[in-house]
Structure 1
Amino acid sequence: MSAGRVALVEDDEDLRISTAQLLTLAGFDVTTFPAAPPALLAIDAYFDGIVVTDVRMPHMSGIELFHILNERDATLPVVLVTGHADVAMAVDAIRRGAWDFLSKPFDPDALIAAATRAMAARSLALDNRRLRAQAASAEQVALVGNSPAVARLREMIPALANADIDLLIEGETGTGKELLARLIHRAGRRARHRFIAVACAALPDALIDSELFASVGDRGAIGAHRGTLFLDDIDQASRPLQARLTQLVEERAIRGSRDPVPVDVRVIATAAEEARRAADAVAPALLYRLAAVRLRMPPLRERREDVPLLFAHLVDASAGRLRRAVPPLTHEARDLLARHDWPGNVRELAHFADRFVLGLDDVAGDAADPSDTLPLPDRLAAFERDAILSAIAATGGEIGAAIDRLGIPRKTFYYKVQRLGIDLRTARRPG
């Protein structure tokens, strides 16, 4: 197993060959370059290794190479190999972010040790990057789909991201309210700072000050300074908590035993749709300050046209996470996707996707099917087409009855007919 990839940049051919042999014997996968320019062409944003480079080279020095690479990816470790006269220059580069430097002639063990440490740091940085990418992908799940409501929410994100106004996101459980809040946070300038989530329903009154309003530490409002404070289930917050939050939102400061501590924070809160009908769920003084903009996450039963695409996205993600192949989609699964109301919304659909991939539901097929080689969205589109044609045939060509049988809005039906290329005149003919 390789110890990792090393891009070795050295203009001295003999030294380049001997150093490459040393690193190769240590288990590294080495690519050599006689100068910095060709190395720059090869080391792109997807390079998953480290760089070992000489400092003094014609055309472009190792220091210049480091600066360019550091601008591309500040987490890429660059080990500098210097002559005695270049030590001060290398130390300055270390201050600017270079990983390490070795003086010529260097100890072979010192080079291997430096490369090993650099590779460990590189692997950790790449793992963190992958986790952040997965988190961003997971957040996108909430807005997968082509329904008008979801399309409108996607359009609003850029405008809301850098608007310093507080938001209230309403919706049923499992619709993705927190995911939408995180998307808005990530899309704006506050993304460089923290997103602090507070479960208002689970915060005892005795811990309000220590968890949310302490003027030191990295939790609550102080932890979210210059970032976003996310208040989940604000309609389930206790009256003392709502009173303190009203003060925070109004003054943008934390009151303590001493002078108030200013806090630059953007507040995004969530509430159940029932909170609209419960006049006392959120104190008016807090509600009016939070709800500069009110957004609504629609439940899945109101955007049934999004279910197949959303399910395809969730199944692909689940298969990758669980390291399983995607099983063929059966008619039973197709019918469940079309008919079920999904009261748990995206969360319930995600759990179903996991069970489907693991083969824990009867709706996962076992027999091979010619369409199984198609991408999952294409398979779902084929099943949707079949379901619509079957419904039209079962109702004797009565479109209204077919729409009722499918359990989808009329507008959605005709949208799908157009998207799937179904000729209704042909479909209504007997046989």
Structure 2
Amino acid sequence: MTEAPLRVALVEDDEDLRASIAQTLRLAGFAVDAFAAAPPALAQLDADYPGILVTDVRMPLISGIELFGMLRDRDATLPVILITGHGDVAMAVDALKAGAWDFLTKPFDPDRLIASVTRALQTRTLALENRGLRAAAEADADGGLIGESPAIRRLRAMIPALAAADIDLLIEGETGTGKDMLARLIHNGGKRRRRRCMTVACAALPDALIDGDLFASVGEGSVVAADGGTLLLDDIDRAPRRLQDRLAQLIATRSVPGRGRDPIAIDLRVIATAREEAQRGPEAIDPALLYRLAAVRLRLPPLRERREDVPLLFAHLAAQAAARLRARLPVLTDATRGHLIHHDWPGNVRELAHFADRLVLGLDPLGDGIAAPAATLPLPARVDAFERAAIIEALAATDGEVGAAITRLGIPRKTFYYRVQRLGIDLAVLKRRRAGDSNPLR
């Protein structure tokens, strides 16, 4: 999502070689920032540099390896391609294991350089887009309702007024759209935020609780425990008719029977959630209850009606998953981006959250029968998905032993690490999961 053109920063102390490499890259269509030494490059390459770095290894003052280490501390997602002499190969391999993108041995084929730079810039594009999405999601997260679609903007703008109005509400929407979350945002934004928001799961309430605890005059399970706060009636359309009758009476009188003759008054705000009328049927909510609840009716649209919000939501959910699982946030591949755009998300935000969890865990998020249709994905994305699945399968078959997996795949070690990095496979996450699961990659 960055608007700045992607660039190649070239650091080479040999003037003739620097000019030759810069010309090769420019003829291939890349913008080039050329530097004769590492210090001036360090002054310009901050964490938001819109491009990648190509650097020689042997240079005065600060070597290419040292430059790579300094930039890695600033921005671990910045791809660095090292140019090495034959005597520096072992050093470059160590840097590759530490996170360098690639290394080229002098003299190198210009086409090899262009191919490596092209792939590195593709990855950098994705990383910068992810960063922009996360920043936007974090900004939206302050309001709690993430998205920039017209419907979400309208709902977000209504929250302060609804919170202050202190009237009963009905929030309608498909399963997984976040109705409970919107209800709590309204509760937390009003004067009742210091008191309890008590949730009643209407679809799963046993008869014994309906007749006893819920409408008792005392007790933590009674509606009296929400006095001064909010009563959140979740899935009111799934409530049995007897419960609906009792709730209609509660809302009408704002009281429960006392132990004596006098009822016990309760100061309550009532917010109910329900499926949309087309899903639940017109008779699912008793009219006497519906009319009392629906002073204001809000609708949370499904994700398929606000596709422009999916990237922002996904970035927010993936960041939450990474923090919760103590894992690195991976870079989005083209295959993942294609799935985010084209999938209908029938499970809405809940399904999207599960998708983010799988991605952060290092599992194939497009597996388990939810792969994006091949026709919607370009050939390189399908190849990447195949390679990633093959590497993860080899690691699973060898119980996570990298050496054995490399042998099974039949590729050089350097190629293995290069593809692991390019495809966003986090070996550390897989290793941690292996410690607690005999088959962590399933």
Q: TM-score, normalised by structure 1?
A: 0.52
Amino acid in the other structure paired with 2:342: R
Give the structure 2 partner of residue 243 of structure 1: 245
Q: Deviations over 1:251-301 (max 9, x none)?
A: 000024421000000000011013676221111010000000000011000
C-alpha distance 316-295 of structure 1, shift in aligned 2 (>3 A) = same
In structure 2, how many angstroms separate the alpha carbons of the residues matched to 1:234 and 1:139? 27
Q: What's the RMSD between the two structures over aligned residues?
A: 2.6
C-alpha distance 362-256 of structure 1, shift in aligned 2 (>3 A) = closer
1:316 is matched with which residue: 319, 326, 330?
A: 319
Amino acid in the other structure paired with 2:316: H
Deviation for aligned residue 1:328: 1.7
CA contact (8 A) 2:231 2:271 kept: yes
What is the correspondence of 1:9-24 to structure 2 with a 5 Å cutoff?
none
In structure 2, how many angstroms separate the alpha carbons of the residues matched to 1:221 and 1:314? 33
Deviation for aligned residue 1:362: 5.4
Give the structure 1 partner of residue 168 of structure 2: 166
Amino acid in the other structure paired with 2:292: R
What is the correspondence of 1:149-298 to structure 2 with a 5 Å cutoff?
149-258=151-260, 259-274=262-277, 278-298=281-301
CA contact (8 A) 1:267 1:290 kept: yes
In structure 1, how many angstroms separate the alpha carbons of the residues matched to 2:142 and 2:300? 13
SS at match of 1:230: strand
Deviation for aligned residue 1:308: 0.5
In structure 2, how many angstroms separate the alpha carbons of the residues matched to 1:234 and 1:206? 18
C-alpha distance 219-138 of structure 1, shift in aligned 2 (>3 A) = farther
Among the aligned pairs, what percent are the same residue? 64
The runs of at least 4 aligned residues of structure 1 exceeding 6 Å deviation read 136-142
Deviation for aligned residue 1:332: 0.7
CA contact (8 A) 1:169 1:268 kept: yes
In structure 1, how many angstroms separate the alpha carbons of the residues matched to 2:180 and 2:365? 32
Amino acid in the other structure paired with 1:282: I
C-alpha distance 345-370 of structure 1, shift in aligned 2 (>3 A) = closer
1:329 is matched with which residue: 312, 327, 332?
A: 332
In structure 1, how many angstroms separate the alpha carbons of the residues matched to 2:164 and 2:310? 31
In structure 1, how many angstroms separate the alpha carbons of the residues matched to 2:360 and 2:211? 45
Deviation for aligned residue 1:139: 8.3
Amino acid in the other structure paired with 2:241: R
Deviation for aligned residue 1:206: 2.3
CA contact (8 A) 2:213 2:222 kept: yes
SS at match of 1:329: coil
Deviation for aligned residue 1:183: 0.5
In structure 2, how many angstroms separate the alpha carbons of the residues matched to 1:171 and 1:370? 37
C-alpha distance 361-274 of structure 1, shift in aligned 2 (>3 A) = farther
Q: Deviations over 1:157-191 (max 9, x none)?
A: 10011212100000000000000000001111100
CA contact (8 A) 1:205 1:238 kept: no
In structure 1, how many angstroms separate the alpha carbons of the residues matched to 2:421 and 2:145? 32
SS at match of 2:356: helix
CA contact (8 A) 1:311 1:353 kept: yes
Amino acid in the other structure paired with 1:182: R
In structure 2, how many angstroms separate the alpha carbons of the residues matched to 1:234 and 1:137? 32
Tell me the number of residue pairs that the alignment of Structure 1 and Structure 2 aligns. 237
Give the structure 1 partner of residue 369 of structure 2: none
Give the structure 2 partner of residue 54 of structure 1: none
Deviation for aligned residue 1:327: 1.4
Give the structure 2 partner of residue 33 of structure 1: none
Amino acid in the other structure paired with 1:174: G
Uncovered stretches (5+) of structure 2, i.e. residues with no partner: 1-137, 367-384, 389-418, 426-442
Give the structure 2 partner of residue 339 of structure 1: 342
In structure 2, how many angstroms separate the alpha carbons of the residues matched to 1:275 and 1:208? 28
Asked which structure has the greater RCO (Cα within 8 Å, sep 6+), the reply is 2
What is the correspondence of 1:396-407 to structure 2 with a 5 Å cutoff?
none
CA contact (8 A) 1:315 1:357 kept: yes
Give the structure 2 partner of residue 15 of structure 1: none
SS at match of 1:175: coil
